[in-house]
Each structure stands twice: as structure tokens, then as C-alpha cells.
Structure 1
Amino acid sequence: MKKICFVIILLLGGIQAKAWWDHGHMVTAMIAYLNLDKKAKAKVDSLTAVLARDYPQVNHFIVTGPWPDDLKADGVHTYDTWHYADYPINNDGLVVHDVPEVNAIWAVNQCNGILKAPQAKPMEKARFLSFLVHIVSDLHQPLHATARFTNDIPGGDAGGNLFPLKGTWRNLHAMWDDGCGALSKYNDLRPFGKPKVPLTEAQIESVRDLAKDLMKQYPEKSFDNIKTLDPDFWALESNKLAAKYVYGVKGKDDQGRNQYLRPNDEPTPFYLEQGQEVVRKQLTLSGYRLAAILNDLFGENKK
């Protein structure tokens, strides 16, 4: 059974290489950008300009966020496993696979290493900066740190991709990529859509406004573990959120007992409201943590 489960996960691994849609990654990047010191901001701007030589739609640092997903859309699958680190939720006590070594946690550490390396070329650093921006955001999407194993799906649900829903979203993963509806009005922000075009100044400003609203709602002091920059901790943190909220309560029955979201359900307003709160907090937290990493790498007091 263990071998079968592992093979299924390998076959499905590519399904869930995308977390948040473009707007989510750009919000993380904008919150980080607004919290960079002057020296770090100048450095990321210079590396953004390097990436833009080959990808002209990258006309602002925030557009580096969704760029790694565009690679996958163009058929580059070398980095697929960099986008997630699926810790299991396994209430049925099944035998499950180990978390693959080359995952999002590994990738964050690799990116940090390249960005610190004095011998690394500017284009190499620009690409790894983009991956760092993207993966930090990925690890704060609960379904990129989680796969649920049940008797019905013993090979795991591929981060909710195999958890179908009725209504607006086709499956659980897509719903959380869209922020449980919290980000839906920003779905037109697609610099890597068809055609691939740079963001307009108005679109960049809309992301900046959203980032400022989130920072006002969730200031740095509101987070207990904001200074924890260990990506393994982030993954475990997200996994706990998935157990509590993603696969959580959708409401109560007539006798006051908790009712949980099940495959082929339509999410309830109660479920979506809770999910949107988690999404807003996680996006804000990911932006603050990304800023801390970039200030450490490139800032006035870099380590």
C-alpha cells in the first residue's frame, strides 16, 4: 500500500504546483516591497530590471511573484516540486509517503544561497529572487503545505485538487487559490495571461492599496511568530491552519453539532468567511516575512 500511495502522489504531484492566483503572489510581493529599506528596495528593483530583459511584462517587483507559475504554463516542469511541501493530514491512520526532499522548504534555502553568493550572475540572482518571492507566498497558502489522506483517497488529495466542490470553484485548491473569494475582484490582474502584458499603473496601484489595507488591518505586532523565518516552521503553521479551517466546519446541524466540508459540497457563507480571514492574515504575514528576508539579504544591515 505504501508503494502504491507514493506512486499516486508522484503522478499527481504536478497537479498542485500553483498556489494563489497571480494577484495573491503580487500582494505578498507588494507588502514586502513596502517594508523594504532603501538599499534593499534598490537591489530588488535592479534585479527586477534584469529579469525584465527577457520577460518585458515584469515591469514592477510585484510581477516577479507570479513569474514561476508562468514557467510551468510554458511547459517548464523542472521546478514543479519547489512549490509545495505537503505534510499529511491522516486521521484514518493510513501508511503514507514521506514528504519529498526537493520541495518548497528546500527551494527557499536554495534561493537564499544563490542570492547570497557573490559569484552568482545577475540573471541567475534575478530568477532566484523571483522564485523566493513566489515560494514564500506559496508556503503561506495552507494547501501548499498539506495533503489529506483518507480511506476514500488513500493516495492523498493533492492539496485539495482531488476534493471536488459544487458552485463557484471546481475544487478545494482552486477555492483557496482565489482566497475563498477574498481576492476574486482582482482576477483581471494577470500579467502572464493571454496576451502577456505589463500591469498598468492603475493595476499596480490597486495592488498597493490592497497591501496597505491588509497592513492596516494586520500590523506586524498582531503576529506572534512574525520573526520566524524558517520555511519548515511556515509549512507546519500552514498545515495546522489547513486541518482547522480548510477541512473544517461549514456550519452546524439542527442539533448544534458541527458539520464539516465534504467532497462535492458547496461552501457555506460561514466557511467562506472563516477562510477569507485566514487568507488575509496569511498573505499579510507572508509579505512581512519576505521583507525581513530581503532586508537581511540586501538591506542596510544585511547579515
Structure 2
Amino acid sequence: MRFSFLLALPLLAATPAQAWGPVGHRITGAIADQNLSGAARAQVRLLLGVEDLAEAATWPDDMKSDPADFWRKTASPWHYVTVKEGDRYGPADAPKEGDAITALKRFTATLRDGKAPLEDRRLALRFIVHILGDLHQPLHAGGGNDRGGNDVKVTFFGQATNLHSVWDSGLIEQRALSYSEYANWLSRSITPAQFIDWSASGPATWVRESIALRKTIYPAEADLSWDYAYQHRAELDDRLRRGGVRIAAYLNAIFDSTAPTGDMP
């Protein structure tokens, strides 16, 4: 398994950064899918049909290959936030082109609007699942000085890449698990107390957590392998667990007609 992982790393290094890679997003989507309320599950089924949240979670990244300006330009900033000063996201941090927080507000309003066109609500649902995952990747709450770790060149198990890609995909794929295996392992370790605690927070808290973690993950050396992966395994798993629980809680609140935004800036 180790040999096949190392063979796959050149492909990882050549892949554009996209928050959690496909496996990470599917993990958060799968955990969310397991924790939907009955009302939310029915609404998701009405909007997506047989497509589950694990599949929906990667859709906004999949669509980046579409040549339309919407995907190449308009939607591009909606996958991250930038907080240049301090540790808390505020209204002044939102650029004129928007970011993950402003997009989340807009898509939440659309999803809650029963009169909105079906395609608009379907788009909103897919983006909400994706954005909530993005906000739990620590390098998607960047400080505005290194493009969320994309400019930090490292090697991961001997292959040239950057720190952002290591957190997007490298650390996850190094575990050599399918997304469903990984999601099930993580789900079994979530306690009722954690579920209640994590569900009660909102986007400002998620960003603040990511900023705090981001400050601890920049390596002292550029050559990363087993030591770095082991050092950050628990933190990685924690962000994936929290992301999945919060996607479910957010959708449950939307479809139960209660305010889901919590501490939204």
C-alpha cells in the first residue's frame, strides 16, 4: 500500500488546490449523510434524487473544469476566506468578489426559499455542503500572505508539492482508506456530547478554529513524511469529524425552519 501511495504522489502534486480533495469532501459528506434528520433527508432526496451528500460534496470542485465564466471566475473565491489581521473573521474581511462566508449566506437564503427555482436550490445545497467542508480545512482560512500555503513548497514522501496540497489530499490519501471506510471510522468515534457541542456553533467559530490550527501546521523543515503525518493525524481527523457533523446540523436546521447561521459574521 505504501508503494502504490508513493506512485500516486506525482499526480497529487500536479493537482490544483481545491480545499479538501475529493476524498476529504466525500468523508465530510458521508458523515453528514449519516446524521441528517428525517425532514432534512427527505428534502435532500427531493433536490438531489439518488445523489447523496458524499457525491454532492465534490460537485463545486468538479465544475471548475467547466469553461463558463461563472465557474472559472465568479465562483472561484467562494472556497476560502482571508483574515489578514487578527484571529476573527469580520465583515471587513469580505472582498468585493465575495468569499466562502458571503457565498454561504446567499446559498442559505436560496435553499430556505421554497419559491426559488429547483435548479437554484439544488445548486445552493451542493455549495453549502462543499463550503462547510472548505471552512474546516485550516489553510482555507488564510492570512493573505502565501495563498493559503500554496506558496509554501515542500516535499511529501519525497515528491515536490506544497503545504496546501498536503492538507487537501496528501495526509488523507496517506491513510490508504476509501472515503467510506474513513468516514465510518471517524463516525464511530463521535460522542453524543461532541455532536451536541459541535452542532451548536456557526461559521465564525469554524473559521476561528481553522485559523488557530493553521498557525500550528507550518513545518520547520520542507521535507515531510511519516513524522509530519503522525504529528497532525488527530487534528486532521478532528476537522473532518467536525465538518461532517456541522454539515448535517446546518442542513437539519435549514429544513427544520430554524435559524442555522449561529455566529455568522
* Fold equivalence (TM over 0.5): yes
Contact 2:94 2:102 in 1 (8 A): no
Tell me the secondary structure at the aligned position of residue 214 of structure 2.
helix
Counterpart of 1:115? 111
- CA deviation map 1:110-166 (0-9, x unaligned): 111111112111111011100000000000000000136xxxxxxx21001111112
Percent identical pairs in the alignment equals: 33
Aligned partner of 2:182 among 201, 204, 210: 210
Residue 182 of structure 1, CA deviation? 5.1
User: Does residue 159 of structure 2 align to residue 168 of structure 1?
Assistant: yes
Q: Measure the CA separation in 2 of the matches of 1:145 and 1:130.
A: 20
Tell me the secondary structure at the aligned position of residue 131 of structure 2.
helix
Counterpart of 1:247? 218
Question: Where in structure 1 are there 5+ consecutive unaligned residues?
Answer: 1-14, 50-57, 91-96, 149-155, 187-205, 249-259
Counterpart of 1:219? 191
Q: Measure the CA separation in 1 of the matches of 2:94 and 2:53.
A: 31
Aligned partner of 1:269 among 203, 226, 236: 226
* 1:170–1:179 distance in 2 versus 1, CA, 3 Å: closer
Contact 1:40 1:294 in 2 (8 A): yes
Counterpart of 2:148? 159
Q: Which amino acid aligns with 2:166?
A: M
Tell me the secondary structure at the aligned position of residue 170 of structure 1.
strand
Counterpart of 2:101? 105
Q: Which amino acid aligns with 1:65?
A: A
* 1:99–1:38 distance in 2 versus 1, CA, 3 Å: closer
Aligned partner of 1:68 among 60, 63, 72: 60
Q: Measure the CA separation in 1 of the matches of 2:174 and 2:191.
A: 20
* 1:208–1:17 distance in 2 versus 1, CA, 3 Å: closer
Counterpart of 2:140? 144
Q: How does 1:47-66 map to 2 (within 5 A)?
A: 47-49=47-49, 59-66=51-58
Say which is worse superposed, 130-139 or 113-122, in terms of deviation.
113-122
Q: Which amino acid aligns with 2:46?
A: S
- CA deviation map 1:5-59 (0-9, x unaligned): xxxxxxxxxx97611111111111111110011221111122112xxxxxxxx84
RMSD in angstroms over aligned alpha carbons? 2.6
Q: Which amino acid aligns with 1:294?
A: L
Tell me the secondary structure at the aligned position of residue 199 of structure 2.
coil
Q: Measure the CA separation in 1 of the matches of 2:227 and 2:152.
A: 19
Q: How does 1:167-206 map to 2 (within 5 A)?
A: 167-168=158-159, 170-178=161-169, 180-181=171-172, 185=176, 206=178
Q: Measure the CA separation in 2 of the matches of 1:109 and 1:138.
A: 15
Structure number with larger C-alpha Rg? 1
Q: Measure the CA separation in 2 of the matches of 1:223 and 1:271.
A: 28
Tell me the secondary structure at the aligned position of residue 159 of structure 2.
coil
Contact 1:89 1:243 in 2 (8 A): no
Q: Measure the CA separation in 2 of the matches of 1:222 and 1:61.
A: 21
Counterpart of 2:11? none
Q: Measure the CA separation in 1 of the matches of 2:192 and 2:16.
A: 30
Q: Which amino acid aligns with 2:209?
A: E
* 1:220–1:109 distance in 2 versus 1, CA, 3 Å: farther
Say which is worse superposed, 35-44 or 97-106, in terms of deviation.
97-106
Q: Which amino acid aligns with 1:163?
A: V
Q: Measure the CA separation in 2 of the matches of 1:61 and 1:224.
A: 21
Question: Where in structure 2 are there 5+ consecutive unaligned residues?
Answer: 1-14, 87-91, 260-265
- CA deviation map 1:202-231 (0-9, x unaligned): xxxx53432221022233424785134421
Q: Greater share of helix residues, 1 or 2?
A: 2
Say which is worse superposed, 281-290 or 164-173, in terms of deviation.
164-173
Tell me the secondary structure at the aligned position of residue 143 of structure 2.
strand
Counterpart of 1:298? 255
Q: Which amino acid aligns with 1:100?
A: P
